[in-house]
């Protein structure tokens, strides 16, 4: 057994953590670039969630997932691509920023420098070919996916480490970003993405609080 196979064998994820990792991966992908037609089709065809699986059985995550699935089924990939460009890239200035530094005030200190130090501490660094700074929403979501699921080089992080990263670097600003997307008059498909993101992160926050 190779070392890579051994690492993968040692950390078979339970269904709950596998689902968490998959949602982090999906959201990271949706905020990194616009979904193409195959991805829209995959989301549309995904299974619904059971409201009973959520703490308290409130069903908000399941309802927002259904709304995202329905929006994906109805979406045109080219139109969503144009929306992504207008929302997050724009000409000169985007309508909505996906960077933590836009939402965190002066009292937050040096969020980008602190994030870089934290990423270095867990063996991660910005890829030379990447054009995104580390405080981009997609990067932080992908970091959470790695912490939950591990990869071929590392085991999943302990829940305390997952909670520490999420509470320090993601939760303080991600809800503000989701609200900005939801309230932007030119947002359409990404309103559903943002609402599902907020519901998922709220569930993560509440679950961390009772660990």
Tens-digit pLDDT profile for residues 85-111: 999 998 878 999 999 988 987 656 677
Contact 174, 139 (CB under 8 A): no
Q: Can you tell me whether residue 178 is helix, strand or coil?
A: helix
Residue count (the chain): 211
- Looking at residue 181, its pLDDT comes to 98
**141: nearest Cα among 68, 182, 193:** 193
- Looking at residue 9, its pLDDT comes to 44
**96: nearest Cα among 20, 182, 154, 16:** 182
- Looking at residue 120, its pLDDT comes to 84
Interval 114-146: pLDDT, tens: 888 888 888 776 665 556 678 899 999 999 999
- C-alpha 125/C-alpha 107 separation (Å) is 25
Q: What percent of the chain has pLDDT over 90?
A: 65
Q: Measure the N-to-C terminal CA separation of the chain; round to a whole number of Å.
A: 34
Domain count of the fold of the chain: 1
Mean pLDDT of 175-199: 98
- C-alpha 20/C-alpha 54 separation (Å) is 12
Compute how many other C-beta atoms are within 10 angstroms of the C-beta atom of residue 2: 8
- C-alpha 154/C-alpha 95 separation (Å) is 37
Q: What is the DSSP letter of 166?
A: I
Interval 171-183: pLDDT, tens: 999 999 999 999 9
- C-alpha 149/C-alpha 164 separation (Å) is 16
Interval 52-97: pLDDT, tens: 666 554 689 999 999 999 999 999 999 999 999 999 998 878 999 9
- C-alpha 164/C-alpha 35 separation (Å) is 30
Q: What are phi and psi of 136, to 5 degrees?
A: -70, 145
For the entire predicted model, the pTM comes to 0.88
Range of the domain at 108: 3-210
- C-alpha 61/C-alpha 200 separation (Å) is 6
Q: Assign residue 98 the CATH number of its domain.
A: 1.10.3480.10
β-pair partners for 136: 99
């Amino acid at each position: 057994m190779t070392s890579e196979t051994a690492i993968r064998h040692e950390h078979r994820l339970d269904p709950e953590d596998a689902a968490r990792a998959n949602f982090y991966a999906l959201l990271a992908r949706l905020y990194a670039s616009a979904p193409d037609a195959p991805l829209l089709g995959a989301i549309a065809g995904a299974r619904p969630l059971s409201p009973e699986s959520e703490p308290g059985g409130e069903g908000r995550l399941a309802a927002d997932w259904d709304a995202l699935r329905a929006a994906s089924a109805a979406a045109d990939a080219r139109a969503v691509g144009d929306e992504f460009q207008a929302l997050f890239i724009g000409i000169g200035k985007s309508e909505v920023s996906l960077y933590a530094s836009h939402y965190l005030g002066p009292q937050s200190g040096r969020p980008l420098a602190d994030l870089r130090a934290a990423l270095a501490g867990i063996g991660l660094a910005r890829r030379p070919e990447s054009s995104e700074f580390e405080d981009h929403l997609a990067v932080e979501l992908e970091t959470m996916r790695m912490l939950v699921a591990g990869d071929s080089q590392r085991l999943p992080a302990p829940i305390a480490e997952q909670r520490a990263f999420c509470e320090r670097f993601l939760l303080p600003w991600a809800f503000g970003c989701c609200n900005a997307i939801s309230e932007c008059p030119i947002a359409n498909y990404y309103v559903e993405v943002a609402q599902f993101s907020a519901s998922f992160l709220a569930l993560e926050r509440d679950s961390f609080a009772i660990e």
